[in-house]
Structure 1
Amino acid sequence: MVSTVAAQRRALFVVALTLILAVSSYVTKAWAAGAVAIGKCGAYGQAYDYVAEADARAAALKQCKGTCTAITMKRACAAFAVDMTNPCGPHGYAVKSKISSSLNAATKKCYEFGGKECVIRAWVCDAKG
């Protein structure tokens, strides 16, 4: 026979676990804005898990050296590729729902713009990306 105290402890444990799971799900959904900033000669900045896209954009731009452009994302991945033979030349970037797709698309764009040896310079995923 199970004591009342043991049953109460189990019930309290189940309630606490349910609350923890609910809060973690809310945090993952709420903190789901990111950005990657791209500049000349391979300069970049990245930010993820921000509440607002504007905050993520500002954080990524702050990390990037020189004049940079920021691309925002929501629950996705972004990648930035540069040409190793000329880092100040051709480059490509992409934002996709999965990391593999964004890496492939960024590399492909770099080659399309004339890159000879394109490599990933930076990548970032936000929340479920």
Structure 2
Amino acid sequence: MTETYTPAARVVVVASLLFAIATMTFVTVSIARAAGALAVGSCGAFGEAYDYASVAAAHESALAKCQGDACRVVTTSKRTCTAFAVDFANPCGAFGWGQGGKLGVTQNAALEACYREGGKECVIRTFFCDARG
């Protein structure tokens, strides 16, 4: 017995297949682009790069975006969150960064590091999370 499908049923089947292919492509691209880096310089300068194909590419981009003196990459990441904090009262003074699996924990780590370095009014300057796959 041969089954025949109505045109509407064919449209539903084709649409379902296209959706499945698009979903798989998005997940694959997200996993492949899951490297990041944070560069910091003097007086609150920073450069960030996330969702890059490689750590080396993220490293290069973060350095290129950092507009201050003495910029250097302080951390790289793969499928994690990163945060950078500076002392609002003295941006040329204390700073800190954090890295971890959850954004809130990462931001707290950056603030704690800033206060440990002598900051009085530490604030988050930037944060990002890579694709987690």
TM-score of the two chains, using structure 1 as the length reference: 0.92
Q: Which 4+ runs in 1 deviate beyond 6 A?
A: none
Larger mean CA deviation between 7-16 and 105-114 belongs to 7-16
Q: How many angstroms apart in 2 are the aligned matches of 1:122 and 1:9?
A: 46
Deviation at 1:6, TM superposition (A): 2.3
Counterpart of 2:72 in structure 1 is 69
Q: How many angstroms apart in 2 are the aligned matches of 1:3 and 1:32?
A: 42
Match for 2:82 among 68, 78, 81? Answer: 78
**Matched residue type, 2:15:** F
Q: How many angstroms apart in 1 are the aligned matches of 2:89 and 2:6?
A: 72
Aligned residue pairs, count: 128
Match for 1:4 among 6, 10, 19? Answer: 6
Structure 2 unaligned segments of length 5 or more: list them. Answer: none
Deviation at 1:3, TM superposition (A): 4.7
TM-score of the two chains, using structure 2 as the length reference: 0.89
Q: Equivalent residue of 1:127, what SS?
A: coil
Match for 1:99 among 97, 103, 107? Answer: 103
Deviation at 1:5, TM superposition (A): 2.2
Counterpart of 1:20 in structure 2 is 22
Q: Equivalent residue of 1:107, what SS?
A: helix
Q: Equivalent residue of 1:36, what SS?
A: strand
Deviation at 1:115, TM superposition (A): 0.9
Q: How many angstroms apart in 1 are the aligned matches of 2:5 and 2:44?
A: 66
Structure 1 unaligned segments of length 5 or more: list them. Answer: none
Superposition map of 1:42-61 within 5 A: 42-61=44-63
Deviations 1:41-60 (A, max 9, x none): 10000111110010011001
